[in-house]
Amino acid sequence: MSHQFDPTVLREYDIRGIIGDTLGAEDARAIGRTFGSMLREEGGNTVAVGFDGRVSSPMLDHALVEGLTASGCDVVRIGMGPTPMLYFAEASDENIDGGIMITGSHNPANYNGFKMVFQGRPFFGKDIAELGRRAAEGKWTDGNGSVSNRDVTDDYLDKLLTALDGIDRDYLARVKVAWDAGNGAAGAVLEKLTARLPGEHHVLFPEVDGNFPNHHPDPTVEENLADLKAIVDDKNLDFGIAFDGDGDRIGAIDGEGRVIWGDQLLMIYAEDLLSRQQGVTIIADVKASRALFDHVAKHGGKPLMWNTGHSLIKSKMKETGSPLAGEMSGHVFFADTYYGYDDALYAGLRLLAASARLGKSVTQLRGEMPAMLNTPEMRFQVDESRKFAAIEEVKARLADSDDDVNDTDGVRVTNADGWWLLRASNTQDVLVARAESDTQEGLDRLMAQIDEQLAASGLERGPQAGH
> Between the CA of residue 279 and those of 164, 168, 196, 276, 321, what are the distances in Å?
23, 27, 35, 10, 12
Nearest C-alpha neighbor of 304 from the set 322, 328, 278, 318: 322
Q: Is residue 467 part of a domain?
A: no
- pLDDT tens for 94-122 read 999 999 999 998 888 899 999 999 999 99
Same domain, 36 and 135: yes
Cα separation, 226 vs 194, in Å, equals 21
Flag whether 266 is in a domain: yes
Q: How far apart are CA 34 and CA 44, in angstroms?
A: 13
Neighbouring residues of 216: CB distance < 8 A, sequence distance ≥ 6: 106, 108, 182, 224
Residue after which a domain boundary falls, among 367, 389, 412? 367
Residue where a domain terminates, one of 116, 132, 151: 151
Q: Are residues 306 and 331 in the same domain?
A: yes
The verdict on 20 and 94 lying in the same domain is: yes
Find the catalytic residue in 57, 105, 329, 457: 105
What Å distances lie between residue 365 and 164, 334, 454, CA to CA?
19, 20, 38
Domain match, 239 and 385 both = no
- Find the CATH number of the domain harbouring 314: 3.40.120.10
Residue 294: beta bridge partners? none
Could you tell me the pLDDT band of residue 449, with boundaries at 50, 70 and 90?
A: very high
Spell out the alpha helix ranges (H) of 102-210.
Answer: 126-137, 153-161, 169-174, 187-195
Q: Is the pLDDT of residue 5 over 60?
A: yes
The CATH number of the domain holding residue 452 is 3.30.310.50
Query: Is 355 one of the catalytic residues?
Result: no
**In this model, does residue 461 exceed pLDDT 90?**
no
346 and 385 belong to one structural domain: no
For residues 256-266, give the mean pLDDT.
97
pLDDT digits (tens, 9 = 90+) for 40-75: 999 999 999 999 999 999 999 999 999 999 999 999
How much is the pLDDT for 385? 86
Distances (CA, A) of 235 to 179, 239, 450: 13, 11, 43
Residue 120: closest CA among 209, 191, 39, 237: 39
| Average pLDDT of the chain, as a whole number | 95
> Do 163 and 232 share a domain, yes or no?
yes
pLDDT band of 370, cuts 50, 70, 90: very high
Neighbours of 239 (CB within 10 A): 27
- What's the pLDDT band for 320 if we cut at 50, 70, 90? very high
Do 185 and 226 belong to one domain? yes
Phi, psi of 303 (to 5 degrees): -75, 140
Is 311 inside any structural domain? Answer: yes
**353 and 377 share a domain?**
no
CA 273 to chain centre: 20
User: Do 169 and 225 fall into the same domain?
Assistant: yes
Q: What is the DSSP letter of 299?
A: T
CB atoms within 10 A of CB 402: 7
Tell me, yes or no, whether 302 lies in a domain: yes
Claim to verify: residue 182 and residue 257 sit in the same structural domain:
yes
pLDDT at 310: 86
Residue 461 lies in a domain: no
**Segment 274-282 long-range contacts (CB within 8 Å, at least 24 positions apart):** 274/299, 274/300, 274/301, 275/299, 275/357, 275/358, 277/323, 277/336, 280/321, 280/322, 280/323, 280/324, 281/320, 281/321, 281/322, 282/322, 282/323, 282/324, 282/325
The total domain count for the chain is 3
- Cβ atoms of residues 288 and 305 within 8 Å: yes
Question: Of 189 and 376, which is predicted with more confidence?
Answer: 189
Sign of CA dihedral 226, 228, 231, 234: negative
CB 250 within 8 A of CB 347: yes
Residue 133 lies in a domain: yes
CA distance 34 to 37: 5
In a domain, 5, yes or no: no
Q: Which of 367, 388, 410 delimits the end of a domain?
A: 367
Q: How far apart are CA 319 and CA 277, in angstroms?
A: 18
For residues 201 and 290, membership in a common domain is answered with yes
Cα separations in angstroms, 272 against 6, 55, 399, 407: 45, 40, 38, 30
Is residue 425 situated within a structural domain? yes
Q: Is a pLDDT exceeding 70 seen at residue 188?
A: yes
Residue 53: partners with Cβ closer than 8 Å, 6 or more residues away: 80, 183, 184, 185, 187, 208, 209, 210, 245
Instruction: Report d(CA 102, CA 106) in Å as an integer.
Output: 13
Residues 230 and 320 occupy one common structural domain: yes
pLDDT score, position 60: 98
The domain containing residue 418 runs over which residues? 373-456
Q: How many Å is the Cα radius of gyration of the chain?
A: 22
Residues in the chain: 467
Cα separation, 55 vs 92, in Å, equals 28
